[in-house]
Structure formats: C-alpha cells, structure tokens
Structure 1
Amino acid sequence: MPTDQLPIGTFSRITHLSQKALRLYDERGLLVPAARDICTGYRYYTYVQVERGIRIRHLLWLGFGLSEVEEILEARERGDAGAIREHIAERLAATEREVGRLHVIAEALQRQKQDPLNGELSMSITEPLIKDIPTQRVLSRREKGVYHEAIPRMIRELFTYVCPEDGRQPAARIAGPVMFICHDEEYRETDADIEVVIPITGPVTLDGGSVEVRTLPGGRFFSVLHTGPYPGVGKAYERLFTAMNERRLMLVGPSRELYLNDPDEVREEELLTEVQFPVQEIPPSP
C-alpha cells in the first residue's frame, strides 16, 4: 500500500463514516476509493479525500439526504454558490418547521405532565351537524407529500395569487377560508394525496404551473368545529365517525379541513378548524 493511501478502516475512523456507509457511497459514486486491491477488493483512500468524507458527514448531520449531498457537492465543484444557498434555504425552512412541531409536542407533554388524566384534552369540539354547502370556485394546488410540510407551503403558494408580495392589488378576492382536502382512503406518512384550495371570486392570472382554478363540488356535509392545536384535530374525526354510525350516515367523498383563523395571529389553544365529511344516509336493508 502506498504511503499516501489510507485503508478503509483508518479512513472510517478519521471521517467518522462507517465502512458500510463508505461502501454505499462508493456504489453511488459519491466517494469512490482512490485504489482497490485486485485480489481482496479492499478499498484505499487518499488523505485528500478525507476533506470530502468529512464534508459528507457534516451535510448528513445537517439533515440533507444522500441525493441532496450529491447535488451540493456537484454544485461546489462547479462553483455554483446559488444552488448551494437554495439547498440550505430549503433545509433551514424544513428544520424550522420541525422545531415548531417539536415545540407543540413539548407544550402538549407539559400539559399532560401537569394534569396526567386530562392534560391532552385542552380542546373543544362542537356537536356534529348537517350542512348543505353550495359549489365553490376555488384556487387549487394538489400534490403528494408529507402533511405538516406540504400544507403550509401550498397555502403560502396559493396566497401569492391573491396577496402578491409586491403589494399589487389582485383582481381575485378570497371568498372563504383555506381548505385542506384529503383524497386518500387511509393515512399516509410520506406520499399523501394533498389538495389545498382557497375559495375566490374574480379573475386570476395563472403561470401555467400546478395551480389551477376549479369548481369544488357542494352537497350535504356532516361537520364539527374543533378549537385547539392542530395535532388534536384527530379527535374531531373520531367524533364525526362515531356520530355518523349513530345516525346511519356514510362517507361519500374526500374529507375537508377548513382553517378559520391564522396560527400567526392567535394562540394554539384558540385555533379553529372545521372538519367536514360529505355524507349520505345508509340505505335500509332489504
């Protein structure tokens, strides 16, 4: 072995990257050994590669995925600082959202600690009622993703069409609360089918992207109003399903969540979320 080369074990200790990880990075072309023993296949690295290995470990520690690490290192080789800043900005935004989520969990745990029997019930849910809701013209954005990441981002994107950042007065007007529409038949962690809509009136200019104007169907809806932090909205769903069973109603379309106030303007305990289920009566047995 040449004196300027490091066996994989030594390289692993220096960079704090496991040998299993180094083999994976070799296969992906992310960190390819400088040499390989013809007989044993044993990998060897150079001292120059230590810097790249440490940089990979640092980026992974910051929360970037391997594909993102590859893109960042490629951008670094091109001298593309703008691309790197974009990746960092996206990771920072995701981290801040996660910090916010953990803060909500910490507060919930504190309430639970203070009142172990009832601390999780710092919310209120109205009695379910039937509503006849008309069709609505809405600005819509639909994609697959993770709920807590996608919904706030999609809401911000839609608001750029009705509340331009440059202060211009838009032609379209908001005609109702922001809604999240769930198109999945089951809860999905990472690839949920998410649609966010804003009811509008007036003309709107679209840029040919994934935002569209469509007609949201009306109909008969079973509804409750939930007051409290968003993570507790599941209790509203539980209340609706229980009441539906009692009243012999069945779900006939995607559920909706209507956000009736702004989390930036009120405390979590004051957040208002209306949950709506499109329903019809279960036909009597023959």
Structure 2
Amino acid sequence: MKDELLTIGAFAARSRLSAKALRLYDRLGLLAPAYVDEASGYRYYRADQVERARMVALLRRLDMPLAQVADVVAARESDGTRASELLAGYWTGVEERIAGQRTLADFLRGRLSGRSSEMYGKFVVETVEVPEQVLITEKRHTLADELPAWIGASLGRLEAAARECGGVTGAPFVVYHAEVSQESDGPAEACVPVADGAAARAWAEERGRTWETSVRVEPARRLAYTRIAKAQVAHPQILAAFEAVEAWVAEQGLEYAGPCREVYFADWEAAGPEDAVCDVAFPIRGTGSAR
C-alpha cells in the first residue's frame, strides 16, 4: 500500500505546504494523512489529496483562520456554491476591517502630526431641522467595545416594538448622555421615533420595563451633523467626525442644545464599508453664521 502513497516530504513539495504545517493540519483534523505507519509514525498521503492541500494553502494566504478554512474545504467537497459563499462572507469582513483600519490610520496620522484641524476639512457639516418626536427608548451604561453589539440589539428590539406603537416615523438614533470610551460607560440611549404616543406609553407600561425602556417626547431641534461611511463608525475613528462637528459649531459661534448623537438612516447589514450609514450630530441653538 505504501508504494502507492507519498511520503510527507514528497507530499509537502507537491502541495506547497511545509511538513510542519501538514502535521498541524493533521492534529486539527483539517488534512489527515491517508496512512500512518504504527511502528515509525511516518505519515503518507494519497496523490488525490494534493488538491485539497493546495486549497488549504491558498485560503491560508488570505489569512483565513483555520476553523473557517475547515468549513470552506468541507463545504467544497459537497457544495461548491456554499463554499464560495463562505469565502465571500469572509472576504467581506476582511474588506470592512481594512476600510476601518484605513480610516483609523488617517485619524492617528492627523493626531500624531499635529494636523488634526486639517482632518476636519474632510467632513462636510450641515444643519437640519428635526420636528418634535415621540420616542421609545432604551438606556444603558456600556463601554466602547460593548457598544456596537448593544446598539444593534437595542435598536432591533425597539423597532420591533414600534410596530405596536403606530410604526417607525423617523431614523433611529443613539444619544450619548456622557462619554462612552474604554474607561467611561455613558450612559447611551437608543431611540426610535414612533407614530402613536398613547400606544407607546401603554406598551411601556405593559412590557417596556423588561428592557428598562421608556417613552419620552423629543422637542423640535436643529442639528449640526456630518455624514459618515460604515467604515468610519467604529471607535475611535468616529471621534474625528465628532470633533469635526464640534470645531464647526465653535467656528459658527453656536451653542449646544443637548447631548450628541448618532443617527442611523441606512440598512447596516446591506451597506458596504464606503456606504454612508450614519449622521454624527449635535443639537445646537443660536444664530451664528450656520448654513
């Protein structure tokens, strides 16, 4: 039988994987040898395993974690379309991470070079009048690394609840009543505008306490805001957008009329890294020279 098999050295040469990598993949169950000599412990492989080994090598060159490599390779043997979808999903995540890192690198370069003010020119700041709104809200103390998951879950709960309150009437948003960072936990407040205030209050009385949810009326406000892409939303790169709006408010001689917020107007899951998804905004008052 061994005459028909390849030694680990010969197989490594043909598969473009090192013997060390082959031993690791064997331990992980990713690429098991066809035969192991019980006396010597030598590993032997079939020639038809070369294609699988090369696929593993190529996927690893994409820096794909071994667990995901195993999923793609296993799917390929039964459903090539599914394997392709798994790879596409992984690569979408890579592109989103790289886009976020690129934005963070730009932010840090500006800070390190002392040219933060130049960065603000990349953000277009405008104003908008927002009418009075009835809101269902959920408030929580949270640190920056926990914030994205909480925002998604909280807004999802509130939007589902809004169906019982006449429906959603405006873009959901998150208000920061105090700083949220790695050291400061806010609180933050997720808000969804709804149509029926009476239904919202009744809903909150019945079930809202489960989520520490409340109903409040948000007065009409004027917001100064800048629009950012999905890749810019991550902390700390989003700080550049907040600082840009703050600098603009100071230049215009305006005053703050409430805590800052992030307004989410797009489908987060469907958006790509460069798609606009969020307005970073501050309620303002005063005449100044606002446009």
TM-score, with structure 2 as normaliser: 0.50
Aligned to 1:70: 70
Task: Tell me if 1:53 matches 2:61.
Answer: no
Partner Cα distance (2:55, 2:213) in 1: 49
Contact 2:4–2:46 at 8 Å: present in 1 too? yes
CA distance in 2, matches of 1:153, 1:90: 19
Bigger mean CA offset, 170-179 vs 61-70: 170-179
Matched, 1:272 2:280: yes
> 1:95 is matched with which residue?
94
Amino acid at match of 1:97: E
CA offset digits 1:101-125 (Å, max 9, x no partner) = 244245447x649x9232477359x
In the aligned structure 1, how far is the partner of 2:56 from the partner of 2:83?
14
What are the superposed Cα offsets for residues 223-251 of structure 1, whole Å, 9 maximum, x if unpaired? Answer: xx9978651528979xxxxxxxxxxxxxx
Residue 41 of structure 1: CA displacement? 0.9
Of 262, 275, 278, the residue aligned with 1:258 is: 262
- AA aligned opposite 1:172: G
Residue among 172, 179, 201 paired with 2:194: 201
Letter in 1 for 2:194: T
**Could you say which structure has the higher strand fraction?**
1
Contact 1:63 1:91 in 2 (8 A): no
Structure 2 gaps, min length 5: 122-133, 140-144, 200-206, 217-223, 244-259, 283-291
Structure 1 counterpart of 2:167, from 163, 166, 172: 172
Q: Which amino acid aligns with 1:35?
A: Y
Alignment match, 1:116: 113
Whole-angstrom CA distance in 2 between matches of 1:234 and 1:257 = 14
Q: Does 1:84 align with 2:83?
A: yes
Cα offset for 1:176?
Answer: 5.9
Separation (CA, whole Å) in 1 of partners of 2:212 and 2:175: 15
Closer, same or farther in 2 for the Cα pair 1:92/1:36, shift >3 Å?
Answer: same
- Offset, 1:18: 3.0
Residues in 1 aligned to 2:13 and 2:148: alpha-carbon distance in whole angstroms? 36
Classify the secondary structure of the residue corresponding to 1:10: helix
- Cα offset for 1:33? 0.6
How big is the shift at 1:49? Answer: 0.9
Amino acid at match of 1:46: R
Q: Does structure 2 retain, via aligned residues, the 8 Å contact 1:177–1:260?
A: yes
Query: Identity over the aligned pairs, expressed in percent?
Result: 22
TM-score (norm 1): 0.51
* CA distance in structure 2 between the aligned counterparts of 1:89 and 1:59, rounded to whole angstroms: 12
Size of the aligned set, in residue pairs, is: 212
Are the counterparts in 2 of residues 174 and 201 from structure 1 also a CA contact under 8 Å? Answer: yes
Instruction: Name stretches of at least 5 consecutive residues in structure 1 with no aligned partner.
Output: 125-134, 141-145, 163-169, 189-194, 205-211, 220-224, 238-255, 275-286
User: Counterpart of 2:239 in structure 1: which amino acid?
Assistant: V
* 2:103 aligned partner: 104
Q: Is the 8 A contact 2:138 2:154 kept in 1?
A: no
Structure 2 CA distance, aligned partners of 1:157 and 1:90?
A: 22
2:239 is aligned to 233
Aligned to 1:243: none
Q: Distance in 2 between matches of 1:267 and 1:64?
A: 25
